[in-house]
Amino acid sequence: MPAQEIQVPSTVTAGSAFAVTTTGSGKAVLYIVGPGQALRRDLQLGERVSFATGELYSAGHYTAVLATESSSKNAEFDVLPAAQPGSLGFLARPSRLPVNVANGISGSMYVFDSYHNLITTPMPATLELSIAGGATLTRTVTTRNGLAWATMNSATKEGSARFTARVGDISSTRIINQVPGEPCSISISARPNGSKLEVQTAPVRDCSGNMIPDGTIITFIETLGNAQSTVDVPLKKGIASVVMPANKGSKISAASGAVAGNEIHWDGGR
């Protein structure tokens, strides 16, 4: 009786059709076992067993076992990811950050074929950060082991930006919200109102000229001798105002976080 033998291709592209050749005579069972998949075929030895497109799709190292009642033969082969990208896994961080932060935005992409196998063959990729009504920052990178990444500076103006990863015709987009930074400076003015003093800030902006968001707390401070009083006021339309006692000889200032404004020495004048 002719000896049973099995021949398999050395490599198979994920999802592609392929065939296994056998020799000998009699009944046998062919098993193909690998990561995430196992296939079985009943056959007559000497047959050429065909597998259709899409049957074997998980990349990895496989073993083909040709088994009869009395013996078995093994052969090994590799299933490789398809060369054409089918989808991207794209991670963009953070989703919200202040303006004008160097390398504050990072993007990482993972390139998969249409069967969700990671494509480890190097290929060119781009990462683009587009500001509405503004410029587009582009980084061209090459994937390594299926991964590519880059960092970007946040813009100098607040607003939403589209962060897009692209390989070939496949792309994925995330939205990055860029918000004003900390106040750059605080300027206050004061005027008497009867027995009181009206103190108001000029419009409060960050160092790139963006208006600080409403609700940001401005702390007004009045110092008279060794006594000190404070009032916390939220910005409204970029401005904070407060009514304070018009104490002659008092010093009035304002601050937000670590940023302090000018100081007014009130002598009771108008």
Superfamily of segment(s) 5-80: Macroglobulin (MG2) domain (2.60.40.1930)
DSSP-derived pairing of the beta strands 11-13 and 72-80: parallel
The predicted structure's pLDDT at residue 269:
58
CATH 2.60.40.1930 range(s) for the chain read 5-80, 87-179
Q: Nearest Cα to 134, choosing from 153, 112, 148?
A: 153
The strands making up 241-245's β-sheet, listed across from edge to edge, are 188-193, 196-201, 241-245
Separation CA 211–CA 183 (nearest Å): 9
Q: What is the assigned CATH class of domain 188-266?
A: mainly beta
* β-sheet with 27-34: strand ranges across: 11-13, 72-80, 60-67, 27-34, 37-44
Q: Which amino acid is at 81?
A: P
The answer for 215, left when phi > 0, alpha when psi is -120 to 50, beta otherwise, is left
Q: For residue range 92-144, list pLDDT tens digits in order.
A: 999 999 999 999 999 999 999 999 999 999 999 999 999 866 788 999 999 99
241's CB contacts (< 8 A; 6+ apart) are 198, 199, 200, 201, 233
Those residues of the chain that have pLDDT short of 50 are: 1, 270
> What CATH code is assigned to 87-179?
2.60.40.1930
**To which residue do tokens 């896994």 refer?**
89
Q: Model confidence over 251-266: pLDDT tens digits?
A: 999 999 889 999 999 8
**pLDDT tens digits, 97-106:** 999 999 999 9
